[in-house]
A = this chain, B = another copy of it.
């Protein structure tokens, strides 16, 4: 089935249970889908733009109200939408990081954080993880001291993922922030896997910035995200334009250079707004999501030799497993090699595991129903069974 111009109509989420690690929290709600249709045109949200002519002041559709609600929900003072979490990193890095400045990341930082540091001219300094693949406040303190010894000054910014993309491990941002603040280092909380997934309380964490991803975790179209700040930091990263034309003497009001003026419009913004009530509700039921994850992971671990590489028990639904000593054994002799595994999943209406992977792979059960969790669990056990893999106990 084709839409247009050689583009097939995608039906992945209509036909499959999708456990893709990055897609789970971004599936549009039905309300978002309706909003996307009604606000498909980019400037659709600008019909009622009035002075002072900035996106976050528009009251119809209720964009201004959404900004207030979003900041309150995160327990932060101010928020802007951005074209993806990475554009939030970029705005903050550009504000605080100058050429040669050390910036605190972690050995599990996402590549977009590195790119934001690179673009600003900074020098990335990774807090090493422990043997359990967790970032601790102690390791952060040691790294800051190391940076101080080596470069004569503390890092100018720390970007810390609450839940990392590799293991889905939850790191103690609150304790790390307390350490960073002892050195006056502003902390950006990367909530790409948490904002819209589980409750996030910025003031309680003590962070200076909260970044979230619309298309990863807020059931919003791409590219979309949010950047929330404290009042103090808002005056820095959301400073208003000071530039002036040398001939016309034009100035540009309250537009914000780091935001490049207005940010999200049309489908991306209204999609995020339309999903917001359901997103607010769903974070309150994260325990049910963890229970679904447990059901699936228990089934995987019941196949002899399967190891979980993520912290265990799980604090997040994004999970990394090692099936080298279970499903991969079959792949070594199977005529389809590793593709037997993804093939068997696909036959059962399951997608999102990297095609052909049977050694180390990730899955994310976020957003599935209990019934689907049980179905997934049965499917993994059945695939093991039909390939003669032993089950434990």
Contact = CB atoms under 8 A, between A and B. Distances in A.
A260 B7 contact: no
A6 B112 contact: no
A115 B39 contact: no
A111 to B, nearest CB: 5
A353 B276 CA distance: 32
Given A43-B23, A83-B83, A112-B260, A65 B6 contact: yes
Contacts of A255: 111, 115
A196 interface: no
Interface in A268-295: 268, 270-271, 273-274, 276-277
Interface string A2-39: 01111111111100000010110011100111111111
Contacts of A215: 41-43, 265-266
B268 A223 contact: yes
A94 interface: yes
B3 A222 contact: no
B84 A260 contact: yes
A386 interface: no
Nearest to A119: B257
A172 interface: no
Interface stretch (A238-246, A311-319, A374-382): A238-246
Question: Residue among A117, A220, A260, A268 with the most chain B CB within 10 A?
Answer: A260
| 6 interchain residue pairs of minimum CB distance | A42-B215, A42-B222, A4-B31, A83-B83, A222-B265, A126-B247
Given A3-B274, A7-B273, A37-B37, 20 more contacts: A3-B38, A4-B32, A4-B34, A4-B274, A7-B274, A32-B40, A36-B37, A42-B216, A83-B223, A89-B260, A90-B260, A114-B241, A114-B252, A115-B243, A115-B255, A115-B260, A118-B243, A124-B243, A124-B246, A126-B246
29 contacts: A3-B274, A4-B32, A4-B35, A7-B61, A7-B270, A8-B61, A12-B44, A22-B46, A33-B40, A36-B36, A36-B37, A36-B221, A36-B267, A43-B222, A83-B83, A105-B245, A107-B248, A114-B243, A114-B250, A115-B243, A115-B261, A117-B243, A118-B242, A215-B266, A221-B221, A222-B264, A222-B265, A223-B264, A223-B265
